[in-house]
Amino acid sequence: MEASFLIDTTKCIGCRGCQVACKQWNQNNAEKTSLGQTFTNPPRLNARTYTNIAFFEGEHGNKLFWNFARNGCFHCKKPACVSVCPVAALIKTEEGPVIYRAERCIGCRYCMLACPFNIPKFEWEKISPRIQKCTFCYERILDGKLPACAKTCPSGTIHFEDSIEKNLKEARKRISENSEKYVNHIYGENEAGGTSVLLLSALPLDQIGFGKVSEQVLPDLTWKYISGIPAVIGVVLAAGIGSWIITRRNKNMDKEGE
């Protein structure tokens, strides 16, 4: 079993039910925000908002239309955030979700830099900050329940399966049966080496906030850098100890001279 979402943005009605359900399940407080040029609110993901709906306004045939896109963790097959974490605070579970173990975290924030989708957020305002992001409702999945956002979605935008392959098959079927409706691209099939969350859209994905992401498996790139960190730390520690010894010796020599 590897949990997967197929998010069909053509079905989304912008109700934000997934936003509310996500906050309720994770017991995240609401926050004070201000409405910008679009109705996206909160305007972006943060440490208390793991899921949000982005609103995109456009025109077609002199008619105004809206497109909506759900933002959240993609739970990559081989997550860059997991590969760069030096203390295994982030792990990829057998069930699919990428989860965070706060008790291991040292606050290095490498995961934030490594993520190609800019998902992990930091609790900057707290004395003992943690990384925050969607967990795919891991506890609910283990209990045989749907993730909160999928459970509450009234339009069928979020299609949950216990297999990525099942959702890929469903996505290909929808595209083949309605080629005029969808862009022929399953976002997440190849991005970052493949993800557990797949997207379908009537518009090019970059027009609804999903930029181009390399298809290369990112841990293949990040590991060669992260593997060198222990050596760098060792050199820095050795240099610090050497400096302390020299400084201490010089002070002792000065005292003897006096």
Range name among 91-95, 129-133, 151-155, 205-209 with the lowest pLDDT average: 205-209
Please give the pLDDT value at position 1: 74
Predicted pLDDT at 84 = 93
Same domain, residue pair 245 and 161: no
75: its two tokens: 């739970």
Given a cut of 60, whether residue 227 has pLDDT beyond it is no
239 pLDDT band, cuts 50/70/90, is: low
- Do 203 and 245 lie in a common domain? no
167 pLDDT exceeds 90? yes
How many of the other CB atoms lie within 10 Å of CB of 92?
A: 19
Radius of gyration of the chain (CA): 23
Number of folded domains that form the chain: 2
The answer on 235 and 190 residing in a single domain is no
User: 85: closest CA among 66, 107, 103?
Assistant: 107
The chain-wide mean pLDDT, for the chain, equals: 88
Residue predicted with more confidence, 246 or 211: 211
Is residue 175 situated within a structural domain?
Answer: yes
| Residue 223 belongs to some domain of the structure | no
Residue 161 lies in a domain: yes
Are 14 and 56 contained in the same domain?
yes
- Is residue 22, in this structure, part of any structural domain at all? yes
- pLDDT average, residue stretch 143-171: 97
Residue 253 is predicted with a pLDDT of: 58
Burial of 228 (0-12, 13-18, 19+ CB in 10 A): exposed
Q: Are residues 144 and 116 part of one domain?
A: yes
Beta-carbon neighbour count of residue 42 at 10 Å? Answer: 16
Could you read off the pLDDT of 26-67 as tens digits, one per residue? Answer: 999 888 887 777 789 898 999 999 999 999 987 767 778 889
Regarding pTM above 0.75, the answer is yes
Q: CATH number of the domain that 139 lies in?
A: 3.30.70.20
Please tell me whether residues 156 and 249 are part of one structural domain: no
Q: Is the pLDDT of residue 226 over 60?
A: no
Range of the domain at 123: 1-218
Query: Where do runs of H (alpha helix) occur along the chain?
Result: 17-26, 80-84, 110-114, 138-142, 148-152, 164-177, 219-226, 229-257
Higher-scoring residue by pLDDT: 102, 245: 102
As a whole-number percent, the residues of the chain with pLDDT over 70 amount to 84
Residues 209 and 249 in one domain: no
